[in-house]
Amino acid sequence: MSSFPPLQGIRRHLPFFGGALVLTQVPALPLLLLGDRPSGIAITVYAIGSLLAAVGLSMIGIAWWNRIERVVSLVRTYAEEGRLPASREADAVGSSVRQVTASLGSLDRVLRTLESDAAKDPLTGALNRRTCSARLEGDLARSRRSGVPFSVAVFDLDELKKINDNYGHAAGDSALRHLTEVLRGAAREGDWLARWGGDEFVLGLWGADRAAATAVADRIIEKLASEPAAMGNVVVTLGTSVGVAQAKDDDDPGGLFARADEALLDAKRSGRGRVGSA
């Protein structure tokens, strides 16, 4: 039975590595142990042995690296040609390559899943605040370059505290998830949704000026009122207040959000279930 190629490379270099240890390190040990201070000869011999040991380890590393490069080259070749050679040895290598490719594919899927989860709010599945800030920054820059309008709508779930007090925090969580579903259902293609924190959500509206963003917000208010939320044995009609702001050339993410948030406060002061704009 043939050994795994990297192991064969290690065995080839073990005599050099072992000989370096035996010929230099072992004789140096008694010299180092004589007297209170090691002699210059002992230190020199020990240093030479350490150097040779490092060379031996380097050669082993090179042997491993060469074989890794060969595997990568084979993976690339098989991926490009979509075939395997006919010989038994090549078939064995091809099988190993397929296993490596499958493992790399699984790892890639895991990484994508982790990256996706890290960008989302765990309760609602909307984007989280950090990702929202990054999206705001990217869309603001894109809008300045292209001249295409970009607006945000900040939503606040009305009376969330009352829901928590009357029905419990699990019902409050269900209300937040229900609002998320309604927002997703009403969003246009290319829009994105994030939970800023607590009961506040941000809807990014690419290509929408203030009037278009206000129209989207009005539709969402109507849709939420027409679709009551089931929270256990209780069905509750939810409401939301909205603040809309269109991006300006000198806006940064914080400034744009602050203007939309101020418009949201105006809407709430006007009686809730309304849209304010800035």
Residue 123 lies in a domain: no
How much is the pLDDT for 234?
Answer: 86
Is residue 104 located within the same domain as residue 139?
no
How much is the pLDDT for 4?
Answer: 44
Host domain of residue 80: 5-117
How much is the pLDDT for 6?
Answer: 47
Domain boundary, last residue among 59, 85, 117: 117
How much is the pLDDT for 231?
Answer: 84
Domain count, the chain: 2
How much is the pLDDT for 272?
Answer: 86
Parts of the chain with a pLDDT under 70: 1-47, 49-117
Distance (Å, whole) CA 251 – CA 164:
36
Is residue 16 located within the same domain as residue 90?
yes
Is residue 221 located within the same domain as residue 196?
yes
Is residue 163 located within the same domain as residue 266?
yes
The pTM assigned to this predicted structure is 0.60
Is residue 161 located within the same domain as residue 181?
yes
Long-range pairs for 265-273 at CB < 8 Å and ≥24 separation? 267/241, 267/242, 267/243, 268/156, 268/158, 268/241, 272/158, 272/159, 272/239, 272/241, 273/158, 273/221, 273/225, 273/239, 273/240, 273/241
Is residue 92 located within the same domain as residue 154?
no
Residue 124 lies in a domain: no
How much is the pLDDT for 74?
Answer: 60
The neighbour count for residue 106, using CB atoms within 10 Å, is: 10
How much is the pLDDT for 232?
Answer: 79
Residue 93 lies in a domain: yes
Q: Per residue in 87-130, pLDDT tens?
A: 555 555 556 656 656 665 665 565 565 555 578 999 999 999 99
CATH code for the domain in which residue 268 is found: 3.30.70.270
Domain boundary, last residue among 117, 141, 169: 117
Q: Per residue in 166-176, pLDDT tens?
A: 999 999 999 99
Residues ≥6 apart with Cβ < 8 Å to 181? none
Long-range pairs for 245-248 at CB < 8 Å and ≥24 separation? 245/151, 245/152, 245/210, 245/277, 245/278, 246/149, 246/150, 246/151, 246/208, 246/209, 246/210, 246/213, 247/139, 247/140, 247/143, 247/149, 247/150, 247/151, 247/152
Is residue 47 located within the same domain as residue 74?
yes
How much is the pLDDT for 238?
Answer: 95
- Active-site hit among 121, 199, 251, 261: 199
Is residue 11 located within the same domain as residue 103?
yes
- Residue 196 in contact with residue 202, Cβ under 8 Å? yes
Is residue 87 located within the same domain as residue 141?
no
Domain boundary, last residue among 56, 84, 117: 117
Distance (Å, whole) CA 129 – CA 132:
5
Q: Active-site residue 199, yes or no?
A: yes
Is residue 265 located within the same domain as residue 138?
yes
Is residue 133 located within the same domain as residue 178?
yes
Is residue 222 located within the same domain as residue 134?
yes
